Every structure is written in C-alpha cells, then in structure tokens.
Structure 1
Amino acid sequence: MKKLFKWLDHIEEGLAGVLFIGGVVVSLYGVFTRYVLNAPESWITEIFEFLLTWSIFIGFGLALKDNRHIQVELLFDVLPKGLKRIVATISNLIGGGFSFYLAYSSIELITLSKEQGIKTIDVGIPIWISYLVLPIGMGLLGFYFFVKAYRAARGDQSELIGEIEQLYESMQNGDGKSGEKGVGA
C-alpha cells in the first residue's frame, strides 16, 4: 500500500509537471508563429487551455497535500489548541465533501457532453475529454482533504507531506498511531 501511495504521488507530480511544461511550450510556439513568422496557428489556444487546465486541476491536490493553498488564519491562530483541532477537522471534512460533490456532479456533465457529441472548434477534440479532469482533480483534492481531516482529528500538526504513508502505517499497526511523533507530541 505504501508503494501505491508513493506511486500516486509521483504520477500526480509528473503529470502536472509535464502538462504545465507542455502548455508553456505550446504557448511559446504560438508566440513564435504569431510574432516571428507572422502566421498564427488556430489550434494553439485550445491545446494551451487544455494542457494548463489539466495541470491546474491535478495540482489542486498537490497544493493541498503540501499546504500551499491560501489560508486565512487570523481567527484560527488565536483559538485554543483543542478548538483548533475541531475547526481544522470540520473545515477539512467540508472541503473534502465539497470536492467529492464536485467530482460526482462533473460525471453528469461528462455524460451529457459525450451524448451530445460536442467537440472543440479548431482541433475537434471531444469536449468530454477536457471535462475528465474534473472528477480526477476533485477526487484527488477530496482525498487529501479527508487525510488532513483525519490527521487534524488525531491532533497531528505535522505537514501533510508523507502523511499518506504515516496513515497507512497507523492502519497497519492498528493502534491509531503511526509510531512517529508529530509536532507537539
């Protein structure tokens, strides 16, 4: 199981990176053809938007896992430790629930666009392929929210990096503890 979580982490990072770099390359090619060759390509915008959208949606989960999302902690910082645990658990559960709701709802959007046969104008890619990133990205984001909620409920204040492996180890131990001490333990 630990290998599975590491594999997922590598796939996410690699895929988001390749898609982002691909978007940058396509964008630079578009600038080159437009301003140097004076012969802009019509397909560049669609491909650029497709690559960057996929990169961003896959990156949502990565950003949450690495605590890189914007957080407003003005009130959170003044709460007592016990209340912080409760607030963090509830807020992460809400975030996870909302993410899974979006993932589930997007399946209807994919089904509808597939039935209608809608395609992009310039390239002719079926639009449902673009929409596939919604359940994937939101599913990963929801998963990481629930991991954070679990850790917040346990009172573990350590970073989310490596949390999946620790969660797996704690499930293997069966005692609810991963054998490693978190911050403040």
Structure 2
Amino acid sequence: MTRFKEGLDKALEWLCVVLFALLVVTVAWQVFTRQVLNDPSGWSEELAKYTFIWLGLFAAALMFGERGHIAVDFVVRKMPAGVQHWIGVFGQLVIALFAVIVMIYGGYKVSALAWNQNLTGLPVNVGWLYTALPVAGVLILFYSVYHLISLLRHRESALEEGDPELI
C-alpha cells in the first residue's frame, strides 16, 4: 500500500505541475488576446477557470496525502499522547466521512445534474468538469484510510512535527 501511495503521490505531483503550466499558458493567452490583439478569446477564460478548479482539488488531495493540510492543534498538543492518538484517529475518520458524503456522493450528484449542460466556450459538457470533485474525493478517501491504518498501527504520529517556532 505504501508503494501505491508513493506512486500516486508522484502522479499527482506531475498532474498538478501540468495543470499549473496549462493554467499559466491559458491566462497568458487570455491577457495577450485581450491587451495586445484587442480581441479576447472566449474559451480561455472558461478553460482557466476549470483548470484552476481541477488544480485546486488535486493539490488539496496531494496535501492530504502528505499530511500538509492546515491543522489547528495547539490544544491537542497539550494533551497526553494516548488522547492525541485517538484525536488523530477521529480526525481521519471525519476526513473520510467528508470525502465520502460531500465530495464523492455530492460530487457525483452535481456532475450527474450538469451532465447535459454545454459550455459556451469549450467543446465539453459541464458534467465532465465537475467530475474533479468525486475523483478528488476518492483520492482524499484513499489518503485518509492510509493514514488511519498507519495511525492504528502506530506507524505515524497523530500530530505532524512542525516548526518549533510556530508551535
């Protein structure tokens, strides 16, 4: 499972790099056509918007995989190690529940509702663009289960070690 996670991490890193590069090129093209050619392209704004959404969701999933997301844990750090452990387990369960209910189920419902809506500037329907939500939900669920198993087997600490100046 660890090798799969490492491969998934690398794939997500590259996907985020490609999406970011696509976003930069698209926005640069949009600015060039608007400012230099005085004829703004209609498709670049929509592509930039949806690329940004996909990038944000996949980067968020990658951060969950690296446990790099924001955690307000100053109270938890003052508790005994056993309590910290179970709070970490509870946190992973909450993340998994959120991923299943909101991102996977809710994302599937939104995608299904928008499946027949067409975009004006791009040759795809809106449903394809909303599939980023359930896909990112599956990724976050995988990472949450991975970290939950690692916590229960005491392979990970309930709290990530941070910069001592920030704690």
Give TM-score, length-normalised by structure 2: 0.85
Alignment: residue pair count:
158
1:80 aligns with 2:80: yes
Unmatched 5+ stretches in structure 1: 160-185
> What residue identity is the alignment partner of 2:94?
I
Report the equivalent of 1:135: 134
Matches within 5 A, 1:1-185: 4-102=4-102, 103-114=104-115, 117-157=116-156
**Percent of residue pairs identical:** 25
Query: How far apart are 1:118 and its partner, in Å?
Result: 0.4
Task: Give, in whole Å, the separation in 2 of the partners of 1:40 and 1:31.
Answer: 8
> What residue identity is the alignment partner of 1:48?
A
Counterparts in 2 of 1:121 and 1:7: CA distance versus 1, 3 Å? same
Task: Give, in whole Å, the separation in 1 of the partners of 2:101 and 2:7.
Answer: 25
> What residue identity is the alignment partner of 1:107?
Y
Deviates more, 1:100-109 or 1:88-97: 100-109
Unmatched 5+ stretches in structure 2: 159-167
* Aligned residues: CA RMSD: 2.1
Q: Give a deviation string over 1:83-106, Cα, whole Å, max 9, x none.
A: 000000011111111112221222
- Secondary structure (helix, strand or coil) at the match of 1:77 reads helix
- Secondary structure (helix, strand or coil) at the match of 1:43 reads helix
Task: Give, in whole Å, the separation in 2 of the partners of 1:7 and 1:70.
Answer: 24
Report the equivalent of 2:164: none
